[in-house]
């Protein structure tokens, strides 16, 4: 093959050529639909946090390259947050790294920790960047599928154990889990931790929805379990917790050797990012507990509003215990192909959703599921449920 006949995009990435989000967001615009596809809030976070960013900009803090590991104020605030919420003590100087959102933290961790050919066991359906980052790192992904059971999607611990081989380097965990809304229980997390210790695995755990946990569910960081602190890279983000997804302030907390490794990759991705926003994120992390409680209660009410509307329209609703997504089953509507359903939904109902199959390697396992985001204003959700009622309710 001549070089001109060779495709531009390399083989590692061909399967990731286009994302469904671009297609669906474009459809939302051309059809005037309510976009419940992509997960970003339609109102900004706390005014005092926004003002903190303005102040940092004006005062000339962070307008030039901030320090590689992140500004000291933010690293201290991240360490204080982990200590206050979870009793996890991290040294802000050696065990905390600020990243360009959780997205860069995921990429840097996988690029740093994997050798080509290493296997990564991850929970399917996956957040969309996991598969691409494993591929960029030359790793091999091994999915363990969360299966519908008792109104939610659950992990089969035997399947997880069976997925680990001598080539497994790392478990990639996400709790609270996007897109299913599953929050792994303390017992499940303990079993994951025991497996990691027994098989001497690294663990990368994406906990960006740590503050969006509803009802009786509880977020327990994997790093709190015996033997886990030294093998776990914990990823957090200001985007989801404070409703400033455009700021791209994320972080890693881990033992010094792991942070140093992740930083080695991170320094050649963005080097640094989000200077003034880092100062604002530091203030956000120091908000009183009342902020976090009110934020969670607000999202829970929105979950209930959209969930009730979807159930009324005839969907089977898997009530999420966390995150700001709700997964539905479209089979009660006489449908079975989530892709076709989501492509038709804007014309049919004036609403945009995402087919969960895009988050699966086993496409057939995800085929009948469709994800809606409920991090939108109440009037937007009410409008959406009315549209769905008109289109589907009998
Ligand atoms: C949104 C999201 C991210 C990305 O977070 P950013 O801080 O915006 O980069 C990572 N993981 C999951 C599961 C997410 O939903």
- Whole-number pLDDT of residue 148: 96
Per residue in 163-197, pLDDT (tens digit) is 999 999 999 999 999 999 999 999 999 999 999 99
User: For the residues of 191-244, what is the DSSP string, one character each?
Assistant: HHHHHHHHTT-EEEEE-TTTT-B-TT-----GGGSTTTTTTEEEEEEHHHHHT-
Residue 1 has pLDDT above 60, yes or no: no
Per residue in 20-58, pLDDT (tens digit) is 888 898 999 999 999 999 889 999 999 999 999 999 999
- Whole-number pLDDT of residue 3: 61
| Mean pLDDT for the chain overall | 96
- Whole-number pLDDT of residue 280: 98
- In contact, 383 and 389? CB cutoff 8 Å: no
Provide the edge-to-edge strand list for the sheet that holds 325-329: 316-318, 325-329, 369-373, 354-355
- In contact, 63 and 275? CB cutoff 8 Å: yes
Residue 63 has pLDDT above 70, yes or no: yes
- Whole-number pLDDT of residue 19: 81
Q: In the beta sheet, which residues pair with residue 69?
A: none
- Whole-number pLDDT of residue 163: 98
Per residue in 275-304, pLDDT (tens digit) is 999 999 999 999 999 999 999 999 999 999
- Whole-number pLDDT of residue 16: 86
- Whole-number pLDDT of residue 2: 58
What is the C-alpha separation between 31 and 347, in angstroms, rounded? 7
Residue 239 Cα to ligand 1 middle (Å): 8
- In contact, 330 and 341? CB cutoff 8 Å: yes
What is the C-alpha separation between 319 and 329, in angstroms, rounded? 11
Residue 208 Cα to ligand 1 middle (Å): 6
CB atoms within 10 A of CB 83: 12
Whether the CB of 235 sits within 6 Å of ligand 1: no
Residue 3 Cα to ligand 1 middle (Å): 36
Please state the pTM of the whole predicted model. 0.96
Whether the CB of 69 sits within 6 Å of ligand 1: no
Please give the average per-residue pLDDT across 155-160, as a whole number: 98
Please give the average per-residue pLDDT across 235-246, as a whole number: 97
Tokens of 68: 């590689």
What is the C-alpha separation between 259 and 74, in angstroms, rounded? 16
- Whole-number pLDDT of residue 394: 72
258-279 as b/e: b if 16+ CB within 10 A: bbebbbebbeeeeebbbbbbbb
Residue 132 Cα to ligand 1 middle (Å): 14
What is the C-alpha separation between 282 and 276, in angstroms, rounded? 10
Per residue in 127-156, pLDDT (tens digit) is 989 999 999 999 999 999 999 998 899 999
Whether the CB of 208 sits within 6 Å of ligand 1: yes
Closest CA to 302 of 377, 358, 240, 386: 377
Atom of ligand 1 nearest to the CA of 250: 7
Please give the average per-residue pLDDT across 350-364, as a whole number: 96
User: For residue 322, what is the DSSP state?
Assistant: B
Confidence band for 211, pLDDT divided at 50, 70 and 90: very high
Confidence band for 6, pLDDT divided at 50, 70 and 90: confident
Confidence band for 17, pLDDT divided at 50, 70 and 90: confident
Residue 100 Cα to ligand 1 middle (Å): 11
């Amino acid at each position: 093959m001549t070089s001109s006949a060779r495709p531009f995009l390399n083989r590692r990435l061909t399967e990731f050529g286009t994302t469904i989000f671009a297609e669906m967001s474009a459809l939302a615009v051309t059809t005037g639909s309510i976009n419940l596809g992509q997960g970003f809030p339609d109102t900004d976070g706390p005014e005092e946090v926004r003002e903190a960013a303005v102040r940092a900009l004006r005062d000339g803090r962070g307008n030039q390259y901030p320090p590689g590991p992140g500004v000291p104020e933010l690293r201290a605030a991240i360490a204080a947050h982990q200590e206050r919420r979870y009793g996890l003590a991290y040294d802000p100087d050696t065990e905390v790294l600020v990243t360009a959102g959780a997205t860069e933290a995921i990429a840097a961790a996988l690029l740093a920790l994997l050798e080509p050919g290493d296997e990564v066991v991850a929970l399917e359906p996956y957040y969309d960047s996991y598969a691409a980052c494993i591929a960029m790192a030359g790793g091999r992904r091994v999915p363990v599928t969360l299966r519908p059971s008792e109104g939610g999607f659950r992990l089969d611990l035997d399947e997880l154990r069976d997925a680990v081989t001598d080539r497994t380097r790392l478990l990639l965990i996400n709790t609270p889990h996007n897109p299913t809304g599953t929050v792994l229980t303390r017992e499940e997390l303990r079993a994951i931790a025991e497996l990691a210790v027994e098989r001497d695995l690294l663990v990368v755990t994406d906990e960006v929805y740590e503050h969006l946990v509803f009802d009786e569910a509880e977020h327990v960081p994997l790093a709190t379990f015996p033997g886990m602190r030294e093998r776990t890279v914990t990823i957090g983000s200001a985007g989801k917790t404070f409703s400033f997804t455009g700021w791209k302030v994320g972080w890693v907390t881990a033992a010094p050797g792991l942070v140093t490794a992740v930083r080695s990759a991170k320094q050649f991705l963005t080097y640094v990012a989000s200077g003034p926003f880092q100062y604002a994120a530091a203030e956000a992390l120091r908000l009183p507990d009342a902020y976090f409680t009110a934020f969670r209660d607000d999202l829970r009410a929105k979950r209930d509003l959209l969930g009730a509307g979807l159930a009324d329209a005839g969907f089977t609703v898997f009530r999420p215990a966390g995150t700001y997504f709700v997964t539905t089953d479209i089979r009660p509507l006489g449908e079975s192909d989530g892709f076709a359903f989501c492509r038709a939904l804007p014309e049919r109902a004036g609403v945009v959703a995402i087919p969960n199959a895009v988050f699966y390697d086993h496409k057939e396992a995800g085929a009948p599921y469709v994800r809606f985001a409920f991090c939108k204003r109440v009037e937007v959700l009410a409008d959406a449920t009315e549209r769905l009622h008109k289109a589907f309710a009998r």
